Structure 1
Amino acid sequence: MVTLGIIGVVSAMTMPVLLGNSKDEELVAGVLKFHSTLSQAVMMWRNNTGAIDIAGSDADASLFDAIAKELKYTAKCVKSECKSVGWLPDYSYDYLGVKGTNVQFGAVAKQGYGDACYLLADGMAFCLDINPNYHCVTVDVNGKKKPNRVGRDIFSFTVGYNETDVLPEEAHCSGNTHVLSTHGTCCIGEGKCDASNLDPTQKGGAAPTSYVLLYKKLPPIYNGN
C-alpha cells in the first residue's frame, strides 16, 4: 500500500509536466508543418505563374488566395470583416505579453488583423500583412485556442523578402522593444546572429520563429527580466 501511495504521488507530480511537454511538442510540430506547407505552396505558386516575388505586386490580399488555396483554407476575412468572424480570438499577444497591435507584431485576432486572415482545414489560422518588399504571414498554430501569444502558439514568417523562400520574420533587426516583441534583435537569415546567444529573451537574441526552426522546441517564456 505504501509503494502504491508513493507511485500515486509521483504520478500526480509528473503528469502535469508530461502533459505540458506534450502540448509544447504539438505546438512545435504545428510551426514546422506550417513552415513546410507554406514553403511548398509558395514554390508551387511560383512554378505555376513563373513569378519570383509575390511582394509589391498587389494592393490587396487577393493574389495570396492562390497560395492559401494550396494550404487548404476554409474561410477568409478581409480587413474590417475580421472583426466579426468567430474563428479569431478577440486579442493576441506579442512575445513580451503585450496585446499585438498588428500582424507584424504578432496579431492573429479580431484586433490588428492586417489585410486578410485565413482559417485552414486543420484549425490553424493566419493573418497577412502586405508590404512593398514582402508579405508578413503570422500564424496561430492552434487557431482560436489560448494562449494566443508569440513564441507559444503564434509565429511570424515572411514571403518574398529579398526574393528568397519563406523565412522567419526578422527583417526588422534592432534593439527597439516593440520590434523585439516579435522579431528578436538579430537576423539569422542575414548571418547577423551570435550562435552562442539565440535566446529571444536576451539582448541580441533571435526571433521566436527562428528559435523553433533551429532547435525544434519552443523558446523560453519572456518574464520581463
Structure 2
Amino acid sequence: MKFKENKLVGGGGNSLKPSHNHGFNLIEAFNNLALWGEKKFVSELKRTYKFQRGVYCHTEDNSPKYRMVGKILSILRSFACAQDDVKFMRHPELDATHVALCDSVGSYFRHWCGAFTLAEVLVTLGIIGVVSAMTVPTLMQNYQRQSYVTQLHKVYNELSQALLRYQTDKNAINFKEAGLSGSEAYTEFQKNYFKVVQDCGTTQTPCFASSYKKMSGSSTNFKCKYGCMSLASGAAIGGYGNGTNGVYEIVVDVNGQKGPNIFGRDAFTMYIYTAQNVIDDLALKNPDDMNDSTWDSESSVPLTQDQREKNFQRACQGDAKPGEWHGCFGKILNDNWQMNY
C-alpha cells in the first residue's frame, strides 16, 4: 500500500512539518480502511489532530497539546492492532475481500494478511507429493551409489598406503622386489599393514556375505583362497589370485556382509601389479575373445580407457562368463570415481 505525503496548510497557521505527516498518514490510511460506522470516530480524531498540530493555531512540539496527540495516536494503534479483537475490514481495491488489518506499535505501515482455502492447501500438498514421488527415489539411488564409491575409494587409499609402507620397510623399488609374491606373503602383508578387526582365514563368512550376484542377476561366488579379513572401516578384503605371475587379485566388499552384495555395487575386484606398483583392473591377453580368460601380467599398466571399457562390457555389465566379476572397478576409474552405470 502506498501512502501519499499530505501537506495541509491552514490560514494564518504554520504548515505541517514532514515529520508530522507520518502520523497524519496513519490516520488517513485507517480512515480509508475503516468500516462506515467507524468513520465519524476517525474524522473527529483527524480534526483534533489538525488542531493540535498547528493547522489552526501556533504551537510548539514540546507543548502539552502535542503530547496529547501522541497519546491519541497510541490509542489509535492499540485500537487497530488489538490482539483480542482484530478488526476485519473490507478493502475497496480488493473487491470485497475480507482481510485482517495488522500493525505493530510504533510502525506506520499496514500489512494485509490473507489466508489460503482448504482446497488450495490440498492441491498444493498433492503437487508436492507427486513431485516427491518422482524425484526422491532417483535422489536416493544416486546418494547410495555415491556412498559405495566413497567407501571403495577409502579402501583403495588404504591399500595404496599399505603397499607403500610395505615397499619402504623392505627398502625395495617395487612390490615384487619387496617380496610380495605367493599366498603366504600376501596374507602376512594383509595382516600387518591393515587395521584388521576379524580374521576369517579361508572362510568367506562372517567377513563377507555367503553369496553374491552380478548386476545381470546371475549368481556368482568366490573363495577366500588367501585369507579374508574385516577391516576397521567396515569393509571386507580378501586375496584370490596368489600373485605368482606378478598380479594379485583382491576382492573387496565395501560394507562387509551388508547388502546388496552385488559385484559392481558394493563388491569389487582390484588387481595389484607388483612389478609396476599399480592398482588397476584386470588386463587380459585377448579381451575380445570371450572364451579366453588368460591374464596378461606383462601388459602395460595403467590400462587404457578402451581396455577398461571392454572389461566393463564383458564381465561387469555383461554376463558372458558368470565366473568373471572384474571390469566394474576399471569403469569407476574411467569415470573419475563416479558410478554412472
Q: TM-score band (shorter)?
A: 0.7 to 0.9
Aligned residue in 2 for 1:125: 236
CA drift of 1:9 comes to 1.9
Residue 167 and residue 63 in structure 1: after superposition, are their counterparts in 2 closer, same or farther (change >3 A)? closer
Question: Aligned pair 1:77/2:190, yes or no?
Answer: no
- Partners in 1 of 2:168 and 2:301 — Cα distance? 27
CA drift of 1:189 comes to 2.2
Higher relative contact order (CA 8 A, sep 6+): 1
Paired positions, count: 200
Question: Aligned pair 1:164/2:290, yes or no?
Answer: no
CA drift of 1:60 comes to 3.2
Aligned partner (choices 123, 142, 151) of residue 264 of structure 2 = 151
Question: Aligned pair 1:33/2:33, yes or no?
Answer: no
CA drift of 1:12 comes to 2.5
Aligned residue in 2 for 1:53: 175
CA drift of 1:53 comes to 2.6
CA drift of 1:45 comes to 0.7
Identity of aligned residues (%): 24
Aligned residue in 1 for 2:248: 135
CA drift of 1:168 comes to 2.1
1:135-181 deviation digits (Å, cap 9, x = unpaired): 2111011111122122111111122x25122422312252354778x
- Answer with 1 or 2: which has the greater Rg: 2
- Partners in 2 of 1:177 and 1:30 — Cα distance? 31
CA drift of 1:46 comes to 0.5
Q: Any stretches of 5+ residues in structure 2 without a counterpart?
A: 1-120, 294-298, 318-325
Amino acid at match of 2:189: A
Partners of 2:176 and 2:274 within 8 A in 1 = no
Aligned partner (choices 226, 230, 240) of residue 115 of structure 1 = 226
Partners of 2:227 and 2:238 within 8 A in 1 = yes
Length-normalised TM-score, structure 2: 0.51
Question: Aligned pair 1:90/2:202, yes or no?
Answer: no
1:44-86 deviation digits (Å, cap 9, x = unpaired): 110011242349755434544334443311111222xx15x32
RMSD: 3.2
